[in-house]
Amino acid sequence: MGTTHLFTDADVEANPEVKAVFEDIRATRGSDFVNNIWRALAADPKGLKRTWENVKSLMATPGALDPKTREMIYIAVSIANGCSYCVHSHTAAAKAKGMSEDEHGELMQIVALAASTNHLVTALQVPIDPEFDVK
Amino acid sequence: MGTTHLFTDADVEANPEVKAVFEDIRATRGSDFVNNIWRALAADPKGLKRTWENVKSLMATPGALDPKTREMIYIAVSIANGCSYCVHSHTAAAKAKGMSEDEHGELMQIVALAASTNHLVTALQVPIDPEFDVK
Amino acid sequence: MGTTHLFTDADVEANPEVKAVFEDIRATRGSDFVNNIWRALAADPKGLKRTWENVKSLMATPGALDPKTREMIYIAVSIANGCSYCVHSHTAAAKAKGMSEDEHGELMQIVALAASTNHLVTALQVPIDPEFDVK
Amino acid sequence: MGTTHLFTDADVEANPEVKAVFEDIRATRGSDFVNNIWRALAADPKGLKRTWENVKSLMATPGALDPKTREMIYIAVSIANGCSYCVHSHTAAAKAKGMSEDEHGELMQIVALAASTNHLVTALQVPIDPEFDVK
Amino acid sequence: MGTTHLFTDADVEANPEVKAVFEDIRATRGSDFVNNIWRALAADPKGLKRTWENVKSLMATPGALDPKTREMIYIAVSIANGCSYCVHSHTAAAKAKGMSEDEHGELMQIVALAASTNHLVTALQVPIDPEFDVK
Amino acid sequence: MGTTHLFTDADVEANPEVKAVFEDIRATRGSDFVNNIWRALAADPKGLKRTWENVKSLMATPGALDPKTREMIYIAVSIANGCSYCVHSHTAAAKAKGMSEDEHGELMQIVALAASTNHLVTALQVPIDPEFDVK
């Protein structure tokens, strides 16, 4: 019973394109565990590859933001877009990368505050202050 | 011409409840500039006060997250909720609190990446991995 | 300059299907003013007719809810869906049907509060209490 | 098994800050039943307190709008934001405050109608009529 | 256990208005199976009738777009609005009308791509090119 | 006056990474016109490159779906996500790829219909029919 076919490890073995991506996920993360989003995407190997490459280059490559901050931004977007699975998987990732209970609590409150002012501004049609414009 | 009445400084002077909030905004921020969201909310002094107190206690009070990170989370939520004004005002705030051009670029890309995977997960109805559940 | 062609009264005169809908809008509302949404929809006469009939049967026909309450619900949905035009036109309608400044202020605050708790609940993945289930 | 830890009554007893909020919820509502959103928020006592105070001051304090109308507005926003739990808990609250089956049916239809016109307006980029602007 | 009462065939038999709509659904689709959305809407016979007539006239009547394309558009909107049930039921319909696995894979990727650029555009507040305006 | 800096052709000339992407956009599309989204993204050359490569590989490469259908799906998602700019630019693209006025009208109506049923389903918490599950 399920709503999308999730590739088992045997299914992965049987498809070389999928297998190559799964091996890269495991090597990049240093863990044998591959979560369900990748098992669902595997039905479309090109889509799987494109999605993983985007995720890898942004979330698993050093850059201007530290890994924990990136995960918290990811969680914030996922909440606003109403994606439970994404909230779960990236909350797990953020904790693994050092997010404390207090930081998680503040993240929740900032997301809730932003949502309330987002709705107020939309409701009131507030014009952008000239001070905020790029010269 | 305008879609919402924006309180001028003269309007603010004439209403003691509004004036008290505006004075607190100016004192808390150490700046005379009060942006349009507060001038639009001023038509409902109780709503103005509640909103400001929530913003002040979360965005202008020391806590677990540093001020720049809080603003970036605020921006991320505002993008996902489609609030242009909020994106503008909090981008200005994040820059004032030290967000670099590179950090801004990465923020944009993470938000865009999260949006794309949020939609994929909703499309594929990915079940939550038992590994992500709280024990 | 404009992003969608808006039917002028002359365009309306020239198209019998569109003219019939515009006459019904004017008669139902008891006013000669027809706002831009109808002038934009007129490019697709069947879509115009379907949309007007749905709006008319729900918003301009007596039912269980009073007209002012209906308009406030319409505003609330339009804010959450980020539709500025809809917020504007239905705020005008709600005021015409008796919404006071205080009621408008409370409406804004309830929408903002609901948005903040909506995001918290999504973030925390709160399971539905068995007490809320239909037997 | 669960995705968020829900505070049991024993957990609540053990934390004085949480206990104080729970006692106020029970006293304000005149009922011993405390639903899951509060049990999930309890992990962050400050967030719990802020959220409850906002909810209490808007939903459980006399104002311009009657309690049933407030709950229907809350439901409308929660549907548009895609929050199932919120739809459930506030539908239960609206029924407790007198919402009839016919009123519920009309609420559903107005929300659905607003959503469809919201999307049409966004699609057609309808410019705001000068008649709707605040002078 | 359930969150909305779903009309059984016996409930449908007992209500002539509901029965008439269900008979039309079965006749139009040439199938005895009636899915849950109609069983949930049946509690409000007028809402059921309005919704079915809108669906029937757009999805089950020949027009400019072929049936498969219509269903793929429906799926795309349902993903962006976060409606799981709708994604499921219209994916089943699209497959019944000829959507291949490859077409489904591309649909997923286009939806994900559009979501990512939608967020970027909102983030960057890109002004509309004059070239895109209607003359 | 503007809210985001838009790269002029002179700015593009001055940055080799940006210039390379702009040349590929022009070559792929067979047109000298480069619209504003790319001029806004150019401030982050890596983000510009990633976004263009995703768009190019999905929208400008032969696949299972024809180019017109892809653009209509893109429009549908952009409406649901409330992105005006995206609706405009992809409506122009869809027309260039053969979308007729009638097809555009039907697209609008299907998007509006899907939005209304999406909201109804969320409101009613319709459980997924076992018939729709993948075996």
pLDDT single digits (tens) E26-54: 999 999 999 999 999 999 999 999 999 99
CATH class for domain F65-126? mainly alpha
Could you give the angle at the alpha carbon of D103 between the alpha carbons of D102 and D104, nearest 5°? 90
Kindly state the tokens that stand for E44.
Answer: 């409000």
Q: Of C53, C58, C80, which Cα lies nearest the Cα of C71?
A: C58
Which residues of chain C does B7 touch, with a Cβ-Cβ cutoff of 8 Å?
none
Paired tokens of E114: 């559009």
**Domain span(s) for CATH 1.20.1290.10 in chain D:** 1-61, 64-126
Percent of chain A residues topping a pLDDT of 70: 96
pLDDT in tens, chain A (135 residues): 346 899 999 999 999 999 999 999 999 999 999 999 999 999 999 999 999 999 999 999 999 999 999 999 999 999 999 999 999 999 999 999 999 999 999 999 999 999 999 999 999 989 889 888 765
- Name the residue among B126, B13, D123 with its Cα closest to residue A85: B126
Q: Where in chain A is the domain with CATH 1.20.1290.10?
A: 1-61, 64-127
For residue range E71-126, what is the model confidence (pLDDT) as tens digits?
999 999 999 999 999 999 999 999 999 999 999 999 999 999 999 999 999 999 89
H-helix segments, F36-100: 36-41, 45-59, 67-80, 84-96
Report the number of secondary-structure helices (H) and strands (E) in chain D.
Answer: 7, 0
CB F75 within 8 Å of CB E69 = no
Look up the CATH superfamily of A64-127: AhpD-like (1.20.1290.10)
Tell me, yes or no, if E14 comes closer than 8 A to chain B by beta carbon: no
3-class DSSP assignment, residue E135: coil
How far F98 CA lies from chain E's nearest CA (Å)?
Answer: 12
Residue ranges, CATH 1.20.1290.10, chain C:
1-61, 65-126
ipTM of the assembly? 0.93
The two three-digit tokens of residue F67, written as one number: 């180019």
CA angle F112, F116, F120 (to 5 degrees): 165
Mean pLDDT value across residues B94-102: 95
Asked if the C-beta of A3 comes within 8 angstroms of chain F's C-beta atoms, the answer is yes
Provide, as residue numbers in chain B, all residues whose Cβ is less than 8 Å from the Cβ of E120.
108, 111-112
Cβ <8 Å between A119 and C87? no
Fold category of D64-126 in CATH = AhpD-like (1.20.1290)
User: In this structure, are residues F50 and A54 in contact, taking their beta carbons and an 8 Å threshold?
Assistant: yes
Across chain B, mean pLDDT equals 93
Q: Does the domain made of E1-61 have the CATH classification 1.20.1290.10?
A: yes
Encoding tokens for residue D72? Answer: 């229907």
One digit per residue, the tens of pLDDT, for chain D of length 135 reads: 346 899 999 999 999 999 999 999 999 999 999 999 999 999 999 999 999 999 999 999 999 999 999 999 999 999 999 999 999 999 999 999 999 999 999 999 999 999 999 999 999 989 889 888 765
CB atoms F87 and D112 under 8 Å: no
Chain F 105-134, residues with CB within 8 Å of chain D CB atoms? 108, 111-113, 115-120, 122-125
pLDDT (tens digit, 9 = 90+) per residue, A65-101?
A: 999 999 999 999 999 999 999 999 999 999 999 999 9
Indicate the Cα dihedral angle A64, A66, A72, A77, nearest 10°: 20
> Which single residue is written with the structure tokens 């469809």?
D116
By CA distance, what is F113's nearest residue in C? C51
